[in-house]
Amino acid sequence: MNSACRITLFFLAILAGSHLFLAGSPATAQSGTRVIRRPHYELLWGWLAQSQYRNWKGPNGQPAEFQPGEGPHAALVKTYVNDHAAGDAKNLSRGSVLVTENYSAEKRLLSVTVMQRAPGFDPPQGDWYYAQYLPQGRIAADVVGRNTEPAAGKVSSCIDCHRKAGGGDYAYFNDPPVLNTSP
């Protein structure tokens, strides 16, 4: 089997499974076979497109709607929760995928931020894989010190803020509402 075929089969295997796995492509190359590793964020974007995430429900079980964004997320956001996460909002177990689209005040799509729960990926920090994409699916750039890296994986800016979410699960959408008006 040539490597392109092998990768295609592997990709189909991911799409066929109900869960995503954190891997690029098979690590076991036969000698003389060059295995091209596709980064996980590319597989994740492909899976999101295949899953038609825009048909997923919003955080409250209703169709996703524009909401005022908080933190760095943008003026307006739309959050989508996959069926697995919606059915297990308390635990957000393996298979949970959360997507927030970030829009300007004029409703122009600026970026797509994604969280995928992946046990074993980052145990001390809630086991979330983070990614930020540009509107057409290219990965955004994350400036780390003097370097620019893909905004994917253990993205410290995402983690540092999401660690403040209620319940210690790094997710905000399932937190109970907070009364923040004074008498």
Which residues of the chain form contacts with ligand HEC (CB under 6 A)? 69-73, 77, 79, 98-100, 113-115, 130-132, 151, 155, 157-158, 161-162, 165, 171-173
Specify whether the CB–CB gap between 22 and 129 falls below 8 A.
yes
Cα 83 to Cα 45, 80, 132, 133, 179, distances in angstroms: 17, 10, 21, 22, 28
CA distance 39 to 42: 6
The nearer residue to ligand HEC, 25 or 83, going by C-beta atoms, is 83
Smallest distance from ligand HEC to CB 177, Å: 12
CA distance 98 to 130: 10
The nearer residue to ligand HEC, 7 or 86, going by C-beta atoms, is 86
Smallest distance from ligand HEC to CB 39, Å: 15
Question: How many CB atoms within 10 Å of residue 181?
Answer: 4
Matching residue, tokens 């392109």:
4
The nearer residue to ligand HEC, 7 or 97, going by C-beta atoms, is 97
The nearer residue to ligand HEC, 7 or 114, going by C-beta atoms, is 114
Smallest distance from ligand HEC to CB 182, Å: 21
